[in-house]
Structure 1
Amino acid sequence: MRCVGTIDDYLTDLDAADRAVIDRVYAIATEEVPDAEQGKGYGMPALVLARKPLLSVMRAKKHIGVYPFSPEAVAAVAGLLDGHPDISVDKGTIRFQPEHPLPEDAVRALVRARVAQIDAA
């Protein structure tokens, strides 16, 4: 069941290119975790699993940021992003441009890593 006023509302305010790329990340995450619901994590629209934030994807001034609410989850997939110079990884954040989207395997691995943390908590 989806909460009103979260990811869907956020997506409507974005330009088409940003919306398509961000929606793709959320779609892949939802395929991986069909039980995830729309909600908020640290004030950001996010997918939520077991009342814990799973993943947020947002447009920032100079990039699109993926926030799995876990530096460990980001570290777990950093190797999959080697060879993608247009994608940067910092503690807890992956940044990319709409014209250079995240590889699907990296999104799936990121979501799986975060789900494993939530399940272990």
Structure 2
Amino acid sequence: MAHHESVDGYIATFPGDVQEVLQEVRRTIREVVPDGEETISYGIPTITVGGRYLVYFAGWKHHISLYPLPHGDEQLQRDLAPYMAGKGTAKFTLGEPVPYDLIERVTRRLADERNSGPA
């Protein structure tokens, strides 16, 4: 696994069209958590809040992944169902429209869970 010093460095390793998608995923997440910090963890971009990870995103050959997924919101679970790729992972196929609104909802729910949970 290649080591990347920054989210920018990670994104730069992908073809231009994939970079655009990754940048939009990044912007979408940052709109929800503008105070989040960016880092690389487990070799992929990670947004942290208060020093704890909130959400990871990654580019792959044929898809973009988002981890983890929130619990408890039945409508959100139904909306995520077509993108589920294992427990806690959403997979968005490259070449198909990326549901950025769904990524926003996932991030918002994760942030809400973090804010309502134990410190």
The reply to whether TM is greater than 0.5 is yes
Alpha-carbon deviation of 1:19? 1.0
Distance 2:40 2:74 in 1: 23
Q: Which runs of 5+ in 2 are unaligned?
A: none
Q: Residue 66 of structure 1: SS of its match in structure 2?
A: strand
Residue 34 of structure 1 corresponds to 34
Q: Within 5 A, what are the aligned runs for 1:37-116? A: 37-68=37-68, 70=69, 72=71, 77-81=76-80, 87-116=83-112
Distance 1:35 1:17 in 2: 27
Q: Residue 102 of structure 1: SS of its match in structure 2?
A: coil
Alpha-carbon deviation of 1:10? 0.3
Give the TM-score of the pair, scaled to structure 2: 0.78
Alpha carbon RMSD of aligned pairs, Å? 2.6
Distance 1:62 1:30 in 2: 24
Aligned residues: 114
Query: What is the aligned-residue identity percentage?
Result: 25
Residue 14 of structure 1 corresponds to 14
Distance 1:62 1:46 in 2: 20
What amino acid is the match of 2:65? G
Distance 2:43 2:33 in 1: 21
